Homo-oligomer: A and B are copies of this chain.
Amino acid sequence: MDRLVKVGIAGFGTVGTGVVSCLLDNGDIIASRTGIRPVVHRIADIDSARDGKLKISRETFVNDAMSIIDECDVIVELIGGTSFAKNLILEALKKGKPVVTANKALLAEHGKELFAAAEKSKADIYYEASVAGGIPIIKALREGFVGNKIERIYGILNGTCNFILSKMEKDRSDFDCVLDSAQRLGYAESDPSLDIDGTDTVHKAAILASLAYGEWFGIEPVYKEGIRGISFEDIRFAAEFGYKIKLLAIIKQQDDDVQIRVHPALIPEDSMLANVSDVYNAVQIKGHPVGETLFYGRGAGRDATASAVVADIVDVCLNLKFGSHRRVPAFKIGKQFRHIIPMNEVNSRYYLRIRVSDMPGVIASISSIIGSKNISISSIKQAEKEGEDSVSLTILTHLANERLLMESICEIEKLNCVKSKVILFRVEDI
């Protein structure tokens, strides 16, 4: 006999309907694979009319999310936000009820508190859908790579940004114009700042870094830069050097320290990551002993997210069946590094674009400033004239210290021949 488990869904928006629909459509398959049959017992939503076309009895719906805790075996938090959702989860955990959530903002900001509550009450909290949607990357890090020292993680973790950058490249368009069409297509929110300013990617990077290195970092130590500053011109120049520009989460062990940063980066155009287009996400993990690995899939949306939430529901149900709660703990401290490296101590390669006067001696002045900081130039290109009397000079550097590079930029911007602020992107030779 399949074991019936009563699932309570809090929040019946896009992901909620996806989860319910998956449990209805694939309930038989899940039962045949695991002996578990998760049954949608309660759905709580402030808009009780949102039952859509799914075959759900009217009495399944309630308005008060708190009321489902006592009635269900597993609580699935799909409300979003960091206030009511947090209270709901804490209340469920306090009552010993296992929780599944897709709420990356909540975890990134309040993970420590939630995990402490889960530990206190010996209840599970699972969160596969919080990073990279349908890609089972949390399971891979916590279980599949449990025997690995994680050397490095690169992530394309925000579908909206990746869609915009892919479309800018494809349509040879600038940022504002593409954002506009992404909003019309529903690939970007009407207030897109959480995505395009990098905050969403920071939430996910913080979670991945925490699992990799055994400390719940939160979002504060993560360096953040979004994609508003990328123009088609830079995509075109990057291509001339053999690179594409992606918004990248970069998590690296460097000697005994660790760096965690989110910013646009030039990556080699023939790398697997550079070929991750449109709304797709990918996570590239290098571990010892596993070596280089990559996971690819849809990072958001009703269906992909539902796949991850349902996997968590089944994991929690199996733990209920076997009494193996917290078999794989939500998070365990086991710090594997000394310090988080501040951004100005990071070493990187750099792409610089400088608008300069078309006159003799310009390249000499700029390259001597860069050279004086002991930074060496790997490639330099001067484009054809753009305006009346200015041209674009693009420079790729070899590995350089961020602080020294910033100092050289300050000096370069003071030159009379330099006509506007220096455009800067970091280069990762993946």
Contacts and interface: CB of A to CB of B under 8 A. Distances in A.
Interface stretch (A109-117, A234-242, A326-334): A326-334
A360 interface: no
Contacts of A314: 143, 146-147
A271 to B, nearest CB: 9
A142 to B, nearest CB: 7
A272 B275 CA distance: 7
A414 B55 CA distance: 60
A127 interface: no
Nearest to A146: B314
Contacts of A128: 144
Query: Which 9 residue pairs are nearest across A and B when measured between Cβ atoms?
Result: A32-B334, A136-B144, A147-B310, A289-B303, A293-B297, A290-B307, A322-B324, A324-B324, A294-B296
A111 to B, nearest CB: 16
A321 to B, nearest CB: 8
A363 B9 CA distance: 63
B146 A33 contact: yes
Interface in A259-315: 270, 272, 275, 287-298, 302-304, 306-308, 310-311, 313-315
Interface of A: 18, 21-23, 25-26, 29-35, 128, 134-136, 139-140, 142-149, 214, 270, 272, 275, 287-298, 302-304, 306-308, 310-311, 313-315, 318-319, 321-324, 327-329, 332-334, 336
Given A136-B143, A147-B310, A332-B33, A304 B322 contact: no
A290 B298 contact: yes
B303 A288 contact: yes
A144 B293 contact: no
Contact of A147 (B30, B135, B290): B30
23 contacts: A29-B147, A29-B149, A30-B146, A31-B334, A32-B333, A33-B146, A34-B332, A35-B329, A134-B291, A135-B293, A136-B145, A139-B144, A140-B144, A147-B310, A289-B307, A290-B297, A291-B297, A293-B296, A293-B297, A319-B327, A324-B324, A324-B327, A327-B327
A144 B323 contact: no
A369 B321 CA distance: 62
A48 to B, nearest CB: 25
Contacts of A297: 290-294
Contacts of A149: 25-26, 29
A148 B308 CA distance: 10
B214 A32 contact: yes
Contacts of A322: 322-324, 327
A290 B35 contact: no
Contacts of A298: 290-293
A46 to B, nearest CB: 25
Contacts of A315: 143
A288 B306 CA distance: 10
Nearest to A134: B290
A288 B18 CA distance: 11
B134 A307 contact: no
A420 to B, nearest CB: 36
Nearest to A144: B136
A290, A306, A318 — most chain B CB neighbours (10 Å):
A290
Given A30-B147, A291-B297, A322-B323, 6 more contacts: A26-B147, A26-B149, A136-B144, A136-B145, A139-B139, A145-B311
A289 B21 CA distance: 9
A143 B137 CA distance: 12
Contact of A146 (B143, B290, B311): B311
A290 B303 contact: yes
B140 A136 contact: yes
Nearest to A280: B292
Contacts of A318: 324, 327-328
